[in-house]
Amino acid sequence: MFGGAGREHMQKYGTTKEQLAKVAVKNRRHAVHNERSQFRQASSLEEILAAPLVFEPLTKFQCCPTSDGAAAAVLCSEEFARKLGVTNPVTILGMSMTTDFQTTFDPPSMIKMVGQDLTHAAATQVYERAGIGPEDVDVIELHDCFTPNELIYLRGPRPLRRRPRPASSSTRNATTYGGTWVVNPSGGLLSKGIRSAPPASRNASS
């Protein structure tokens, strides 16, 4: 599905194999500075393109590795945070959870099948609830299990479409430090890996 979404992106927007691969180049370069990343070695564009082909146009280094890990977030009141001496807490201004829509399946589109419509809906809701706009966004962490995802999800949120087009942004380094915004400074799933659910969970969720 994600490889098919990459092909569709190339057909619709003129995206090249090199532009898709540059997403992996950028995210692996970011991961060098993330001590919790699974892969902390930068890769050149030539190395990404020369990796074994998984599904045209995606090579092995454009697909996230399977990993095991855990994470936790502690939610508390401002008063409790102050008692702990936390002087610069993280504040959640807005959150949203959406699902697929009729437009996800009709007309047929691999780009929509991998989440463009629900990303658009969720991002729009969060912007409205948080009371901010695209000019307030500097850093973006998004689900980049495959390189096309980053381009698709950046195009999904309505406010971000006012900024440079995602595919060309990769060429102009607009999605890294010094650019329009920093996308996946952690290295993303392409560097950190994604957890593989046990068979029972996959069957239940499908």
Q: Write out pLDDT tens, residues 90-114.
A: 888 999 999 999 989 999 999 999 9
Write down the pLDDT at residue 200.
45
Whether the predicted pLDDT of 196 surpasses 70 = no
Over range 138-157, report the average pLDDT: 88
CA distances from 108 to 6, 10, 102, 114, 170 (A): 15, 16, 10, 12, 27
Residue of 147, 186, 4 whose CA lies nearest to 62: 147
**Model pLDDT, residue 203:** 38
Question: Residue 159: its pLDDT value, please?
Answer: 44
Lowest mean pLDDT among 74-83, 108-117, 167-176: 167-176
Q: Cα 151–153–156 angle (5° rounding)?
A: 115
Residue 5, CA distances (Å) to 19, 72, 171, 173 in order: 14, 32, 20, 22
Assign 194 to helix, strand or coil. Answer: strand
Tell whether the model's pLDDT for residue 9 goes beyond 60.
yes
- Domain locations along the chain: 2-205
Report, as an integer, the average pLDDT of 54-73.
Answer: 89
Q: Which CATH superfamily is domain 2-205 in?
A: Thiolase/Chalcone synthase (3.40.47.10)
Res 23: pLDDT:
96
Q: Are 21 and 58 in contact (CB under 8 A)?
A: no
Is 0.95 surpassed by the pTM of this model? Answer: no
Q: d(Cα 179, Cα 120) in Å, to the nearest integer?
A: 22
Q: Are 145 and 189 in contact (CB under 8 A)?
A: yes
Q: Chain-wide mean pLDDT for the chain?
A: 85
Identify the pLDDT of residue 1: 94
| pLDDT for residue 170 is more than 70 | no
Q: If you average pLDDT over residues 184-204, what whole number do you get?
A: 69
Q: How many contiguous H segments (helices) and E segments (strands) does the chain have? A: 10, 6
Helix (H) or strand (E) holding 19: helix 17-31
10-19 pLDDT, tens digit per residue, is 999 999 999 9
Compute CA 70 distance to the chain's CA centroid, rounded to the nearest angstrom.
Answer: 19
Look-up: residue for tokens 């698709």?
Answer: 152
| pLDDT score recorded for residue 135 | 77
State whether residue 182 is helix, strand or coil: strand
CA 72 vs CA 65, 69, 75: distances in Å: 21, 11, 10
